């Protein structure tokens, strides 16, 4: 079995609103974070150059109805 020591490009998808966060980890020994990007709304796209892809938020959240109201956090 192979264990994953850390993820290089975790993508957090907010479940309660159209918002995503992309974290990019350094490949140096310390494993610190190089970059954090936050993208909000259904019209934008999030580019992930290291993977050569562009993800439209409209596709990520396709079929999800967001409930109005206050959000925690």
The proportion of the chain whose per-residue pLDDT surpasses 70, expressed as a percent, equals 82
30-58 pLDDT per residue, tens: 667 788 899 999 999 999 988 899 999 99
pLDDT on residue 45: 95
Domain ranges of the chain: 11-60
pLDDT on residue 59: 96
Query: What is the rounded distance in angstroms from the CA atom of residue 18 to the CA atom of residue 42?
Result: 6
């Amino acid at each position: 079995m192979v264990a994953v020591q850390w993820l290089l490009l975790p993508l957090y998808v907010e479940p309660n609103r159209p918002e995503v966060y992309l974290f990019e980890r350094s490949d140096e020994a310390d494993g610190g974070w190089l970059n954090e990007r936050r993208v909000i709304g259904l019209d934008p796209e999030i580019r992930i150059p290291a993977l050569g892809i562009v993800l439209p938020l409209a596709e990520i959240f396709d079929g999800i109805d967001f409930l109005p109201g206050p959000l925690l956090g």
